[in-house]
Structure formats: structure tokens, C-alpha cells
Amino acid sequence: MGNTLGLGVGLGLGLGLCAGAGVVMQAAGPNMEHLKRNAEAFVNRVVTSKHQHNTEDIDESSAEGLRDAMSYAKENPMLIQVPVLGTARKFWRLSDKATRISRKLALILESQHSAGKYLTAPLKLSNVRIGSTGSAKLRDVSFSAKGFSIERVRDDYKHLSKVLLKLIENSDGDIANLPPDYSEFLVLLGRGNIKMEDEFLIVNHVALLPMENRTEVFLMLHDRIVNHLGRTDKAKKKRILRNLPYNNDWLDTARANAEINQWVVNVKNEYRRTPIDLLRLNRNVRCHLHQYNNDDIEETLYCEWPELLMAMEKMLHLVGELVKTGIEMKFG
């Protein structure tokens, strides 16, 4: 049996931002529509200490109880179709196991890159082993430090992108139905201009979040943009707001959804078609999840505005603020 490498992360949740975020802010699309630090700098990155490579990651016996990725995919749909509450529509999204698998594989590569190593041969679907809970490990692979460079890092992620696409296809998923945030994640992996600091965005991409954690992450990023940057760097805040999606139609979308519209009508401060009010509505809904007895509203918000959280994260990354949010703690 060949070498098997894996990485697991189990970090808890525990942050309430609705009350604090409300100090400054009062009460504040189709699936197919819808990334120079040099190589030596990897030793100083924030996530290095959390995902450091060590010899215990390689264990020939650790693949026991895992299945080859092909057979796992055939029995476990990676793409699932869910109803968009408040409408008659449906939306395709990744299952939580699929996002967990994607992140675990990205973390394995990031861990090796942080140790100055890269895959000596292109990653293939046959190298992947998957457990029933979505745990993932690599088999029959080797990593080397010889000739390590940013180009090697980019190649590893390009091959991972291809593996993830094959995994989805083998689970009878239609690539045309990929949600826009996961599509962007795959595009990010396949780009030829990734820098070392972009690995933090890759392994902590919001497309890989469990659905149940998206509320807390939204509130956390909202607080960073609206409250923190509103006090400390208004130029960064304005830049982020200018680059948020849905500026022209988000209010129409909200009113057309019977569930979300409950938060729009009869409000004291009427919503306007501005980016800040798009964030305000999303914050208000998430801060009062049980007001209308709808515990599934997070999924509804994702289905209606699947690019919003991704855009918030991407802009925070571009202005150098993402690593300060603690987002890496929210994947569970």
C-alpha cells in the first residue's frame, strides 16, 4: 500500500456579532453567471502554525476505512438541489460533505507548501481516498523540496481543480449547475498567477463553508467591513462596498421572495438600492433567524445571493484584512 497523507481540522464556534455589529448599522442569479510575496515568505504566513506538515501525516495504514474517490462519488451526490424557500424555484449547491472534501484536499497541499514541498507528480483522482464523513487523504503520492517554487504551488492547485471537477462529474453532477462561489473557487485554483499569500484565501474560501456556519461568518465579515473599517479605514470600506454584486436588483430579489420580504416590508428605516443596505438586510435577517420561525433562512439567503459572501471575503483579502478576521476558525 502506498503512502497516505491527510489533514483534519476541528475548530469550534462561539461568536455573537449581532448586538455589536448593530451599534453602527441600525437594525444597518443564475448559477453560471457569477486571487508580491516571494516563495520564502510562506514561513511567516498566519496559517502556517495551524497546518504544519509533519511525518505523522504520512501513514500507510491511515487509508483503512476510506474508499477510493471514484466509488465514493458514485454513491454520494456532491451537488444537491434544494428548494429556494419563498419562491417556486430550486437551486443547486455543494453538499456539506463535498465542501469538506474540497477543503481537506486543499489543506493537504497548503500544509506541504508551507513546509516548502510540492507534489512530484500531478495529482489524480485515483490518489484520493474519502471517508464516510467527508474526510479525505492522499495515497501513492510523494512530495519534494527540490526545486520548490511558486510555479510548483500553482501546478498543484491546477491539478486539484481538475480532480475536484472529476469528482463532481463522477457523482453525476452537472458542471453547468455549479454554484457561482464554488465555480470561482475552482477558477482560483486554476489560475496561473496565484501568490503565496493567496493560499490563505484558497483554504478558507467561503464556498467551502458548512451551511450552518455561513451566518456567523457573514456577521464576522460584516463587522470587519462596516464597523471596524468604518472607524479605522473608510477608504477600504468604500472600496469593498463599490465592488459588491447585485447593486441593481438585490431589492427586487428580496421583495420577490416571500420569506425574505417579511424583513423588508413595514420597516422603520426603508431599504434603498445601495450596497450598504444590501448588507444591512442580510445582517438583519441573520440576527433574527427565529423571528419568523424559519431556521432555513441562511440557505435561502445563499440561494438568492450566492456571490455576496464570496465578494465580501475576496475584497477583504485584496485590501489585506481577511487574515485579521479569524475566518479559518469557522469551518468546523
One-letter-per-residue 3-state SS of 166-211: HHHHHCCCCHHHCCHHHHHHHHHHHCCCCCCCHHHHHHCCHHHCCH
pLDDT at 189 over 70: yes
Confidence label for 290 from pLDDT (cuts 50, 70 and 90): low
- Residue 33: all three cell numbers together: 453567471
Domain count, the chain: 1
Q: Tell me the C-alpha distance between 97 and 73, whole Å.
A: 11
User: Which amino acid, residue 294?
Assistant: N
pLDDT at 297 over 50: yes
Lowest mean pLDDT among 32-46, 63-77, 250-264: 32-46
pLDDT at 291 over 60: yes
The residue that leads in pLDDT, 36 or 269, is 269
State residue 61's pLDDT score. 45
Lowest mean pLDDT among 33-37, 69-73, 108-112: 33-37
The residue that leads in pLDDT, 31 or 224, is 224
Q: What is the mean pLDDT of the chain?
A: 85
Cell 474526510, residue? 135
Torsion region of 151: left, alpha or beta (phi above 0 gives left; psi -120 to 50 gives alpha): alpha
Task: Give tens-digit pLDDT for 133-144.
Answer: 889 999 999 999
Q: Tell me the C-alpha distance between 195 and 210, whole Å.
A: 26
Q: What is the DSSP letter of 58?
A: B
Q: Are 35 and 201 in contact (CB under 8 A)?
A: yes
State residue 25's pLDDT score. 35
pLDDT at 23 over 60: no
Q: Give ∠ CA 7-54-190 in degrees, rounded to 5.
A: 50
Nearest to 117, CA basis, from 202, 43, 9, 36: 43
Domain interval for residue 131: 4-35+38-329
Q: Is 176 exposed, middle or buried (0-12, 13-18, 19+ CB in 10 A)?
A: exposed
What residues have CB less than 8 Å from 23, skipping those under 6 apart?
227
Q: Are 90 and 187 in contact (CB under 8 A)?
A: no
Instruction: Tell me what percent of the residues of the chain surpass a pLDDT of 70.
Output: 79
Task: Give tens-digit pLDDT for 211-229.
Answer: 999 999 999 999 999 999 9
The residue that leads in pLDDT, 270 or 293, is 270
Average pLDDT for residues 258-279, to the nearest whole number? 94
Mapping DSSP to helix (H, G, I), strand (E, B) and coil, where does residue 92 land?
strand
Nearest to 259, CA basis, from 95, 92, 89, 93: 89
Task: Give tens-digit pLDDT for 48-73.
Answer: 334 444 433 433 445 557 999 999 99
Q: Are 230 and 237 in contact (CB under 8 A)?
A: yes
What residues have CB less than 8 Å from 69, skipping those under 6 apart?
125, 126, 128, 129, 130, 163, 167, 170
Cell 452537472, residue? 174
Lowest mean pLDDT among 12-16, 160-164, 179-183: 12-16
User: Which amino acid, residue 252?
Assistant: D
Q: Tell me the C-alpha distance between 154 and 93, whole Å.
A: 26
Cell 464576522, residue? 220
